[in-house]
Amino acid sequence: MDDPTPVVNSRCINAVEPNLSIYGQMPRLVGLYKIYQKRWIARYWQSQGVRTFVDLNVHPDFYADNMIGVPFGWRAYATRGYSDRLDDTIREYELACQRAETNDLLFVVYGGGRQVKDLAKDYGWTWFPEEADRARDRAISLV
C-alpha cells in the first residue's frame, strides 16, 4: 500500500492493518520490514481517528515478530481463516489473548468457508465471509 489516505478519506470507523504477505521462507529482515510497514500505516490511520485491528495473518515463524509494536493490553485483532489451517487460527487467537492480557477482546476472522465459520462460532469470534466464500455459496445453491 503506497498511499494510506484512501482509508482515512473513506471516513471509516475501523480498519484492519494491511495484510502484507509474510511467508515462512522469507528472510527475517524482509518480514520485519513488512511488519514495520503495516504498523506505520496503522499508526497513521490511528492519528487520523481510525480505530485499527492488528493483522495476525502471518506465517507462524513470524508470530513473535508480528507482535512488535503492539502494546500490551491491545484488544482488537483480525486474521484470515483457512479451512486447512484451523490450528493456526486458534494459535493466533491465543497470541492475541496473551498480548491483550485477557480473553475479553475483539477477534475477527474473515474467509475460510464453513469450517472457519463454525470454529469462529464455537470460540465466540466475529466471522465475515470473503467474496470467494460468497461465490462458492452461490455456485453450490445453483446445483
Chain-centroid distance of CA 132 in Å reads 17
pLDDT tens track for 45-94? 999 999 999 999 999 999 999 999 999 999 999 999 999 999 999 999 99
Taking alpha carbons only, the member of 129, 45, 120 closest to residue 137 is 129
Per the structure block, which three cell numbers stand in for 140?
453450490
Residue 12: band (very low, low, confident or very high) from pLDDT cuts 50, 70, 90: very high
Residue 143, pLDDT > 80, answer: no
SS3 string, 95-124, reads: HHHHHHCCCCCEEEEECCHHHHHHHHHHHC
Q: How far apart are CA 66 and CA 35, in angstroms?
A: 6
Residue 131: band (very low, low, confident or very high) from pLDDT cuts 50, 70, 90: confident
Residue 2: band (very low, low, confident or very high) from pLDDT cuts 50, 70, 90: confident
pLDDT tens track for 84-118? 999 999 999 999 999 999 999 999 999 999 999 99
**Under 8 Å between Cβ of 7 and 34:** no
